[in-house]
Structure 1
Amino acid sequence: MRHMYINGDTPNVCSNFIKGNIIPRWSRMKFPLFLGLVVGSILAVASDDKLNSNLDEEWENWKLQYSRQYAEGEETNRRMIWESALSYIEQHNREYAMGKHTFTVKMNQFGDLTNEEFNKQMNGFVMNEAENSTEEIEEHDGLDDDDDNEISLKLPRSINWTQMGAVTPVKNQGACGSCWAFSATGALEGQLGKRRHLISLSEQNLLDCDRRSHGCRGGLMGYAYEWMKRAGGINSEQTYPYTARQGACRFRTDKIVARIRAYRSPGRCERCLARAVVKIGPIAVAIDASRRSFQYYKEGVYYDRNCNRRNVNHAVLVVGYGRLRGRNFWLVKNSWGLGWGDNGYIKMKKDRRNHCGILNYMVYPVM
Structure 2
Amino acid sequence: MVLKSMDMDIRKLILVLFLLALVFGVAESFDYHESDLASEESLWDLYERWRSQHTVSRDLEEKQKRFNVFKENLKHIHQVNQMDKPYKLKLNKYADMTNHEFMSTRSSKVSHYRMLHGPRQMTDFRHDKTDNLPPSIDWRTKGAVTGIKDQGKCGSCWAFSTVVAVEGINKIKTGELVTLSEQELVDCDKENHGCEGGLMEQAFQFIKQSDGITTENYYPYRAKDESCDSSKLNGPVVIIDGYEMVPEKDEKALMKAVANQPVSIAIDAGGTDFQFYSEGVFIGDCGTVLNMNCKATKEQLGAFCLFCLFLIFVMIAIIETS
RMSD across aligned positions (CA):
2.0
Counterpart selection for 1:68 from 32, 40, 56: 56
- Say yes or no: does 1:301 pair with 2:301: no
- The aligned counterpart of 1:246 is 225
Q: For residue 58 of structure 1, what is the amino acid of its counterpart?
A: L
- Residues 139 and 317 of structure 1, relative CA distance in 2, 3 Å threshold: farther
Q: Percent identity?
A: 32
Are the counterparts in 2 of residues 301 and 349 from structure 1 also a CA contact under 8 Å?
no
1:206 partnered with 2:185 = yes
353 and 107 in structure 1: CA distance in 2 versus 1, 3 angstrom threshold: closer
Q: Which has the larger radius of gyration?
A: 1
In 2: Cα distance, 1:245 partner to 1:356 partner? 32
CA–CA distance in 2 between the matches of 1:303 and 1:360?
17
Structure 2 gap ranges (5+): 1-38
Return the offset for 1:71.
Answer: 3.6
Q: 1:178 offset after TM fit, Å?
A: 0.7
Give the Cα separation in 2 of the matches to 1:193 and 1:283: 14
Given residue 345 of structure 1, which amino acid in structure 2 is its aligned partner? Answer: L
1:183 aligns with 2:161: yes
Distance 1:118 1:353, change over 3 A: closer
The separation in 2 between residues aligned to 1:164 and 1:224, in whole angstroms, is 25
1:58 and 2:46 correspond: yes
Letter of the 1:275 partner, please give it. Answer: K
2:256 corresponds to 1:275: yes
Aligned counterpart in structure 2 of residue 314 of structure 1, from 292, 301, 317: 292
1:141-220 equivalent positions in 2, closer than 5 A:
141-143=125-127, 150-151=129-130, 153-195=131-173, 196-220=175-199
Q: How far did residue 313 of structure 1 move?
A: 1.1
Q: Distance in 2 between matches of 1:68 and 1:220?
A: 32
Q: Would you say 1:365 and 2:290 are equivalent positions?
A: no
Structure 2 residue 309 is the aligned partner of structure 1 residue 345: no
State the partner residue of 1:231.
Answer: 210
2:310 to 347, 355, 367: 355
Alignment-mate amino acid for residue 157 of structure 1? P
Partners of 1:356 and 1:52 lie apart in 2 by 40
Question: TM-score, normalising length from structure 1?
Answer: 0.72
Task: Tell me which of the two structures has the higher relative contact order, counting C-alpha pairs closer than 8 angstroms and 6 or more residues apart.
Answer: 2
Could you tell me which runs of 5 or more consecutive residues in structure 1 were left unpaired when the two chains were aligned. Answer: 1-50, 320-332, 334-342
- Give, in angstroms, the shift of residue 354 of structure 1: 4.4
**SS at the partner of 2:293?**
strand
The verdict on how the C-alpha distance between 1:183 and 1:107 changes in structure 2, with shifts beyond 3 A counting, is same
Q: Does 1:292 align with 2:272?
A: yes
Deviation at 1:131, TM superposition (A): 3.7
TM-score where L is the length of structure 2: 0.81
8 A contact 2:122–2:247 mirrored in 1: no
CA contact (8 A) 2:266 2:314 kept: yes
* CA–CA separation in structure 1 for the residues paired with 2:111 and 2:118: 14
Looking at structure 2, the residues matched to 293 and 226 of structure 1 have their Cα atoms a distance apart, in angstroms, of: 34
- Which structure 2 residues correspond to residues 7-156 of structure 1 after superposition, within 5 A? 52-95=40-83, 99=84, 101-134=85-118, 136-143=120-127, 150-151=129-130, 153-156=131-134
Which whole-Å CA distance do the structure 1 matches of 2:237 and 2:305 have between them? 35
- Structure with more strand by fraction: 1
Relative distance call for 1:135 and 1:234 in structure 2 (3 A) is farther
CA contact (8 A) 1:307 1:355 kept: no
Deviation, 1:138, is 3.8
Q: Counterpart of 2:46 in structure 1: which amino acid?
A: E
How far did 1:218 drift? 0.8
Please state how far the C-alpha of 1:265 moved relative to its aligned partner. Answer: 0.6
